[in-house]
Amino acid sequence: MTMETRTQQKGQLLLMDEGVCWQPVPGARALYKGPRLEGLRSGSVGRVAELRERGAIMDFGKKGRWRVPRYFLAPPVRSGEPG
Amino acid sequence: MAGASVLPCPARAVWGARVNSPVHYEEAQCKTALNRVAGMGFQWSLNPYRGCVHSCHYCFARRFHGYLNLGAGQDFSSVITVKVNLPEVLRWELSAPTWRRETVALGTATDPYQPIEGKYRLTRRALEALHRYRTPVGVVTKGTMVVRDVDVLADMAAREGCTVCFSVTTLDHDLWQQLEPGTPPPWQRLRAMERLRAAGVNAGVLLAPVVPGITDSLDNLSAVVRAAAQHGARFLGTQTLYLKEGTREHFLDFAQREFPGAIPLYERLYPRAYAPRWYQDRLGQQVAGLKVLYGLGDERPRVDENRPVQLAFP
């Protein structure tokens, strides 16, 4: 599955000149790619519980619910998929 | 010039930077104290000194030393003009009936709390004059001597308004010594900010300038934002490096010497004085995101209240 088809299913990819900012949608799984915090580390995968203007409330299960800015969210890559 | 003196640079002696050339302090009489500013968030600026022993290699004010027929390199940090009559001239300007008490910014072209301020006290006397004439001020500094004036700043904060911005570009010891060899350590600046906040002063951090390829890593940015939040910063702003003629030659020479691997990046990012819009946008988004994650804003990052708060770091 390519990046394009995956994001068509779960969100919209906003391309900038350099770098990519992912647009999450409620219910989608998303990967946290920000700095390590107490209780949440980079690479954690959660579900988008609620969209906010600049990010989302993410449900990380046992790790709790966090406000995560969109910049630090990315679509999760399944094993075997190109990164 | 009214007089000149040669003193060893106290900042360099105290903080142990590698440059140890003597500093020439030249006393001068200024004709005006306030400079009209256009297109900024303030209307006037005030600089008690010209040149700065803090010696930040990226400082945009280096090029202004050319107006005195001095170089933007070593001269900027070793020939310092002291405007000894500035407080008197300022009082005269503030007493004019036409003075509208618009915001005055201190530290736009030189640090108002560089070490020689301990001797001349020009910044303190300027603040006292501004307070007397109920004029709001904004101060930008890396100098920890600002805590000496916490009494005046707190009074100003309670009446006409006062904002103090502490410039912190990195918390990495090596990067700090390379980029800002004459400045107090960044963690001391954060402690100074904490003191001011405790006194009721509106104080925060300017994560500026962000130096591409050198201080723009996520680790560096998040360390500064996290420390700012932990030390009670009221706000945090950022901007990217500005490379205009004068500063540009000096900085690229420095980068060629100390960070040669970053030179291709600068050739790409800086055909002009500003970094491209996409870079500034990306940086803005990243820092805005970090502010949310570290609780530097109105909202707390952790939504569920029953769990430990996010600000308690390991």
B312 at the A interface (CB within 8 A)? yes
Total domains present in chain B: 1
CATH of residue B84: 3.20.20.70
Q: What pLDDT does B199 receive?
A: 97
- Nearest CB among B222, B279, B304 relative to A64 is that of B304
**DSSP per position, A11-67:** EEEEE-SSSEEEEE-TT-EEEE-S--BTTB-TT-EEEEEEE-SSEEEEE-GGG-EEE
Closest by Cβ to B289, choosing from A40, A66, A69 = A69
Residue B63 pLDDT greater than 80, yes or no = no
With respect to residue B160, please indicate whether it lies within any of the assigned structural domains: yes
Angle in degrees, 0-180, between the axes of helices B218-230 and B277-293, rounded to the nearest 10: 40
Give the domain range for residue B31: 11-264
Residue appearing with tokens 């500034």: B280
Tens digits of residue pLDDT in A7-46: 333 334 443 334 456 788 999 999 999 999 988 999 999 9
Residue B174 pLDDT > 80: yes
Evaluate whether B232 touches B266 at the Cβ level (below 8 Å): no
- pLDDT category of residue B73 using cuts at 50, 70 and 90: confident
Is the full-model pTM beyond 0.80? yes
Which residues of chain A lie closer than 8 angstroms to B303, CB-CB?
57, 64-67
Mean pLDDT for the stretch of residues B172-183: 95
What is the per-residue pLDDT for B106? 95
What is the model's pLDDT at position B20? 54
Question: CB-CB: which of B282, B288, B312 is closest to A16?
Answer: B282
pLDDT at A78: 64
Measured between alpha carbons, how far is B298 from A42 in angstroms, rounded to an integer? Answer: 24
Query: Which residues, at least 6 apart from B163, have a Cβ–Cβ distance to it below 8 Å?
Result: B137, B138, B139, B202, B203, B204
Residue A48, pLDDT score: 95
pLDDT at B304 over 60: yes
* A38 interaction partners in chain B (CB closer than 8 Å): 308, 310, 312-314
Tokens representing B78 are: 């070793």
Whether a cis peptide bond, with omega within 30° of 0, leads into B308 is no
> From the CA of A70, how many Å to the nearest CA of chain B?
8
Binned at pLDDT 50, 70 and 90, residue B310 comes out as very low
Query: CA B141 to CA A82: how far, in whole Å?
Result: 48
Is a pLDDT exceeding 80 seen at residue B131? yes
How far is A3 from A20, CA to CA, in rounded Å? 12
The structure tokens listed for B152 are 């005046």
Whether residue B22 lies inside any domain: the answer is: yes
Determine the pLDDT at residue A38: 84
Instruction: Decide if B188 touches A, using CB distance below 8 A.
Output: no
Pairing of strands A73-74, A65-69: unpaired
A-chain residues near B282 (CB < 8 A):
16, 18-19
Predicted local confidence at residue A81, as pLDDT: 54
Tens of pLDDT along B17-39?
A: 444 568 899 999 999 999 999 88
Between chain A and chain B, how many beta carbons pairs sit less than 8 Å apart?
75
Inter-chain residue contact B288 with A71, CB threshold 8 Å: yes
Nearest CB to B302: which of A19, A21, A66?
Answer: A66
In a domain, B209, yes or no: yes
**Distances in Å between the alpha carbon of B131 and those of B40, B68, B98, B288?**
22, 31, 17, 33
Nearest to A55 among B281, B292, B308 (CB): B292
Nearest CA in chain A to B307: A64
More confident residue, B172 or B9: B172
Which residues have a Cβ under 8 Å from the Cβ of B11 and sit 6 or more positions away?
B17, B53, B54, B114, B115, B182, B183, B184
B149 occurs within a structural domain? yes
* Residue B287 is assigned to a structural domain of this protein: no
The answer to whether residue B278 is domain-embedded is: no
* Chain A nearest CA to B250, separation (Å): 28
Q: How far apart are CA A73 and CA A43, in angstroms?
A: 10
Contact B170, B215 (CB under 8 A): yes
Chain B environment of A70 (Cβ under 8 Å): 285, 289
Say yes or no to pLDDT of A83 above 50: no
For residue B258, is it within any domain?
yes
Q: What is the DSSP letter of B3?
A: E
Q: Is A16 in contact with B218 (Cβ distance < 8 A)? A: no
Task: Determine, yes or no, domain membership for B81.
Answer: yes
Nearest CA in chain B to A62: B307
Which helix (H) or strand (E) segment is B239 a member of? Answer: strand B236-240
pLDDT band at A49 (very low <50, low <70, confident <90, very high): very high
CA distance B7 to B201: 33
Report residue A74 as tokens: 């990315």
Q: Which of B155, B124, B100 is nearest to B48 (CA)?
A: B124
